[in-house]
Amino acid sequence: MSMSNADGAISKIQTRQVCYAIVSFCLGAWAFYKVNIISGPFFEPIIAACQNPDISVDDFAQKTGYHSYEPKLGLGAFNILVCLITQFLLELRETHPAGVLTWGGVIVVSLPLALFNIICAGRRGGKGPVRYPTVFGLLFQLLGISVIYPMLYNPSYIFSGVRFGVPATNFRTIVATGLSLPGIVLTFLVFYAPTESYLWTCSAGILGGPILAMMGLIIWTDKSSSMEGSTQNIMKSSSMIHNAYSLLAIVAFIFWWCLMAIAFQTYGFEIDLLWRDIWVEAGPSVAFMTVDTGVLFLGTLLLIAYESEWKAIKAFALAPLVGPGAATCLVLMELELEGADALLNGAKKNV
């Protein structure tokens, strides 16, 4: 390849990076604007009550009329967040079935993302903020995953130099897969355990608080970033990640159709009534989660489209059939296998 052709190829890649990063950033900025309009008036009195120094935790419910919360789950620095999210989840719980459908939608869409984020953070050659999934996890909880994922995570990934197929340790893959699953168990407890129970209070505080995000620190000492890209390492890692996405695809598929069964029991085929309850006449928590679900899925599609527009179209087409989480898992699995094959073929040519 001549020097001019090489420069042209580099310029084309950079233009693609900038275009996708800008579009994704704008999507996240719109989500930030929209959810603040929706939830601002709802959050303001709750935040004021949660940070009132004259109200003790023991007297919080009696003096404010809000639900009690467990401050220990805030780890000191995030007590207000735990207090706020407890009230937020209570409104979702009391708005059936719209609450479980919209919150469940976010859980389904986000199911493969913990695996993707943590694996990417450990790949050799990656650089920048993408290497710190715990920081992103905390930002997801504080400012909303539909805001931070397209606004900050996607651009960070696009400019990170991370490549599919670069090996990661089995330990990292196992931990990343495990961290994808607690949200489902906690969601079940939040929507079906008695709201007056301590179990419900703790489940709500963990689900929306900092603990789940900080569990990513388990892989702090992982050595994936120093793994050699040998044929054996690539094949072993690719197989492990393939199995992880396959498992999450099955879980996401089942969860999605459970949500569809709940929706059908209430609305049947009357989509206009469903749309009324999750958007047109929805309360602030439900409308917030409707934005979260839609924007997060679009943000995920943008990330996939940066790698392959065809794969993004495929994920979008599969979503109504298998659910957005399973569709994303299947496409990311394909990208992983194709990335591994490209690395293996490159290694053979260099032999």
Instruction: Give the separation between CA 56 and CA 75, rounded to whole angstroms.
Output: 17
Q: What distance separates the 2 farthest-apart alpha carbons in the chain?
A: 75
Verdict on whether the full-model pTM lies above 0.75? yes
Give me the residue label for tokens 């994922």.
Answer: 149
Instruction: Give the separation between CA 72 and CA 45, rounded to whole angstroms.
Output: 22
User: Does residue 229 contact residue 166 with C-beta atoms inside 8 Å?
Assistant: yes
Residue 348's pLDDT band, with cuts at 50, 70 and 90, is low
User: Does residue 273 contact residue 108 with C-beta atoms inside 8 Å?
Assistant: no
For residue range 89-115, list pLDDT tens digits in order.
Answer: 999 999 999 999 999 999 999 999 999
Q: Is the pLDDT score of 9 beyond 80?
A: no
Residue 5's pLDDT band, with cuts at 50, 70 and 90, is low
Structure tokens at 302: 């943008």
For residue range 146-200, list pLDDT tens digits in order.
Answer: 999 999 999 999 999 999 999 999 999 999 999 988 999 999 999 999 999 999 9
* Residues contacting 211, CB < 8 A, separation 6+: 73, 75
Instruction: Give the separation between CA 322 and CA 42, rounded to whole angstroms.
Output: 34
- Give me the number of domains the chain comprises: 1
Closest CA to 259 of 187, 181, 178: 187
Residue 238's pLDDT band, with cuts at 50, 70 and 90, is very high
Domain containing 307 equals: 3-350
Structure tokens at 252: 């996401």
Q: Give the residue-averaged pLDDT of 202-222.
A: 92
Instruction: Give the separation between CA 117 and CA 329, rounded to whole angstroms.
Output: 13
Structure confidence at residue 130 (pLDDT): 96
- 268's torsion region: left (phi>0), alpha (psi -120 to 50) or beta? left
User: Does residue 71 contact residue 83 with C-beta atoms inside 8 Å?
Assistant: yes
Structure tokens at 322: 């298998």
